[in-house]
Amino acid sequence: MASRDDEMVVLKCIDRHDSSNPPNQQVIILSTTDVYTWRNYSSPIRQHTTILKVKAHRNRLIETSSYFHGLLGGNFRDPDVEVLVQWNQSTFLSLLASLFGSPLDITSENFLSIFEGALYFGMEMILSQCKMWLAKALSVTGIPLVQLSDLVSIWEFGSELVDYLRDLCTSYLARNFIWALSCPSFGDVPFDLLLSTIKHPHLTVDSEKQLCDHLLVWIAANKERCTEDLCITILRQIRVSLLPMWFAAGKNTYQSLSMCSNGSSCGALSLLNQPFTCLMDAQGDSDLLNFKIRLTEFTQRVDLAGCPQITPAILLLSMLPSSFSLEPLMRKKIVQLLINPESLRGNSFRVSCEQWSKLTFEAVHEIDISNCPMLHFENAVECFSKSFPSLRKLKAANHLRFRTRKLLQLLVDRCPLLCDIDLTVDVSPVIITHTSSIESSFGSISSPLPVLWPRPSPSNITKLTLDGLIDVNDFDLQNISDICVSLTYISLKGCISVSDAGISSLICSCLKLNSVVACDTCFGQQSILALYSLNACYDHHAAEPSRQNILQGSNLQMLHMGGCKGIDMTSFSKLLSQAYMLENLCLRDTEVVDDCLFNLCSSSLEVLDVSNTKVSAGAVAHVIGQNPGLKCLKARGCKNLLHQGSKTENKNLYFELGKLCKLDEISVGWGFSYFSLEDLKPAIAFLKAIEVGLGGSLGHNGLMWLPVTCPLLESVVLYFQVISDDLILNMLESLRHLKSLALCYCLGETSSLSFKVSMPNLRKLRLERVAPWIRNADLINLSQSCANLIELSLLGCRLLDSESLKIISRGWPGLISVHLELPMLRKLSLDICDAKDREFDIPELDYRHCLSHVKIARCKIRNVGASVHRETLVLMWDSKQLIRTLVKERV
């Protein structure tokens, strides 16, 4: 007789969900003495067509499982009697194998089944392994190890049996909330889990707008089971005073969410009118909490763009731990600062920042404070330097008053790790030929300083964007080259005050520069020679094979020179002949010729823009042939695409594209047809944007076929195409990802039936010279079909009048750009408070009623009557007042 330690029992495992007893079932007999061979039996077991019998050591089962301890711990001895176990066979086999020495492989998919089995059979050792695995998996930063659907299942199981599982899942989801928002199963997150996650102190989002956006998505996905009370409970967690005003206003279209949208509009406006006076009588600390930007130790990006109500006081408040607001004396000081933001200026802010900035957020590496006019730039930088020591990217578009050198030196001193700075200014309504008259609006951006600055220490700044800074000059470029010695990317788009000599000097000074964006500037011959000449001192025969020791031209990765004139094409061809690494090339509106494209030696090109140039189809086809990785081609306005050119064989441009490339975006015109679309078919399965201009004709078949071939289209722009109601309806019904639609100067009969389809994803709509039938009733229907527009352009709609503006304002309160022609309108007095950050293009505008607490970033006034003047009103915010500048141009 075997000793007690060697006694074996037979465990007969039948799947607990399989009640049938089919004939001829296969019986598999295993033994715990050889657990490493069990993997061979996993496949038939999963098919539930087997009976699993396992011979296991009795004592080992008793020692490691409370279930078997209770079952076998008595006088049970008979080895011929089988112990019936009803459980998932595969899971039970894994549990037994682990008890008898085989390593346990826990994954996101099998965790719950293993944990539940270990809990049922009382296997403490396996439970301990599961807990350690889950704790480790839920603490990993970066790509989550537990998928959202599995996380929900674990949370639901924990809600019923194990509380700590629920707490772990909630904390994990809060820390990784941005990741969860991108998951297709986000709408399946239970209400209780979502609510507890939003309330969790570790909730990590980029902005309050991002949180609000996705809560609305969740509500839409659960509208059948989500009551009004649940909606309000969820939306009350949003800090409505920190939403962009245009975004908050846009939520008025959600009837059940009016509480949220009205509160956010009023909250933002109250901060602009009388900041924080409501806190004087506040009784609880939750009032302060609602004005704090969400920052946690896991926050990587902070997005405050478009929030004019953000002040230095709010920044300072956000850097304080929540516990500070519980101290009466500290709370009183904070409230006084919030009520009187004028006290937070210059050195006084630095003292306050040093005294009260108690938290450091090491993970934050990117901040966007664009269009935050009340946020004093230097104060913001002081705050960032104390609380965001790892800051690497700063976007501050439309911050106007600064001196280039002083600003850059401040950033270098205070934020030493900063490497990417974007100081773009949007001046698109300003008539460039008369920029001198608006200098006062921008302040002294870059005027030479009387002091001689010492040469600064090298900075880490590698990317600098100065688009639209029309007062940046050559002196500023010299300062940039002194400070930004590691610069690899510079964007000067629209910087009309810099000269070709200034740009070329910058290129020669910044030896690491590999990306130059200089569209619509004086970039010219000297700059081309600067990019080219630095290679002259190197042995090209030795450099070409190894691609080493190649500077500037050969290392050039991006060159945008759209709209630049006065360039010698022979020199430019030589530059392209050594640009081995070129990936992005913009030559729109230049005098580029075929020879330049034939000399292009790069095989890494991803973006090519030759719009409105004279290049031929053969030259473009040549570039495509040696650049199979091309993702974006813009060739609208190129009449010579109808011809092959004289230096190439007869290649079909679109056949070459279809054969070699996988496109994300294409813009075409002359020579493009339905047959071209057929040739392109292999290349456009994943196309995101298409533009067809003058000279291109898709025809009825092409427009009907487009949504079938390109189902992922997000932007469609059509000029001079023949359209009809059925074509538009087919497009809108099929393209469910469509965000932008433009129909301009198109022919054919259309009516209001074209836009009866619901388009919740559409954000931009341009109907220019295609819908003369639009009346006010049609506008109302349109606002119901595409309720989420932020940009609207209606030209040639002769039946619209002053009442149309009221319909537009009510129907699309979230609009930030409006382009209208209202021939029936003589004069309009507009309350800017209703306009928010919008752009208006109307015959006349009486702006005498502008309120100081609201900003209009762009306001176009277009006279469509008999007058020969165009008036452009530019309203820019400077501290608390609107700076108004009226620029006139003869047309």
Instruction: Assign 459 to helix, strand or coil.
Output: coil
How far apart CA 165 and CA 110 sit, in angstroms, is 15
Residue keyed to tokens 């090209």: 540
CA-wise closest residue to 855 among 271, 443, 272, 251: 272
Orientation angle between helical segments 569-577 and 525-533, nearest 10 degrees: 30
pLDDT attached to residue 228? 81
pLDDT attached to residue 138? 87
Please state which architecture CATH assigns to domain 1-137.
2-Layer Sandwich (3.30)
Q: pTM of whole model > 0.85?
A: no
Instruction: Assign 78 to helix, strand or coil.
Output: coil
List the beta strands (DSSP E) in 433-571: 463-465, 489-491, 515-517, 558-560
How far apart CA 853 and CA 859 sit, in angstroms, is 16
Residue 235 identity: L
Q: By the 8 A CB rule, do 838 and 816 touch?
A: yes
How far apart CA 875 and CA 398 sit, in angstroms, is 12
pLDDT attached to residue 327? 61
pLDDT attached to residue 795? 92
Q: For the chain, which residues score pLDDT lower than 70?
A: 1-6, 16-25, 37, 39-49, 74-80, 160-161, 250-287, 322-358, 400-402, 427-458, 534-553, 644-651, 824-891
How far apart CA 469 and CA 423 sit, in angstroms, is 8
How far apart CA 733 and CA 174 sit, in angstroms, is 36
pLDDT attached to residue 105? 87
Distances (CA, A) of 287 to 240, 267, 283, 290, 326: 12, 12, 8, 5, 12
pLDDT attached to residue 316? 81
Please write the tens of the pLDDT for every residue from 343-371.
555 555 565 566 556 678 999 999 999 98
pLDDT attached to residue 731? 94
Dihedral angle at the C-alpha atoms of 770, 773, 774, 775, nearest 10 degrees?
Answer: 160
Please write the tens of the pLDDT for every residue from 14-70.
876 665 555 566 777 888 777 776 765 554 454 555 778 888 888 888 888 888 888
- In the sheet that 881-890 helps form, which strands lie side by side, from edge to edge? 841-842, 859-861, 869-878, 881-890
pLDDT attached to residue 263? 45
How far apart CA 14 and CA 20 sit, in angstroms, is 10
- The ranges assigned to domains in the chain are 1-137, 274-401
Residue keyed to tokens 């495992």: 13
Q: By the 8 A CB rule, do 350 and 382 touch?
A: yes
Secondary structure of 374-417 in HEC code, one letter for each residue: CCCHHHHHHHHHHHCCCCCEEECCCCCCCCHHHHHHHHHHHCCC
Give the count of alpha carbons within 13 A of 708, CB side only. Answer: 9
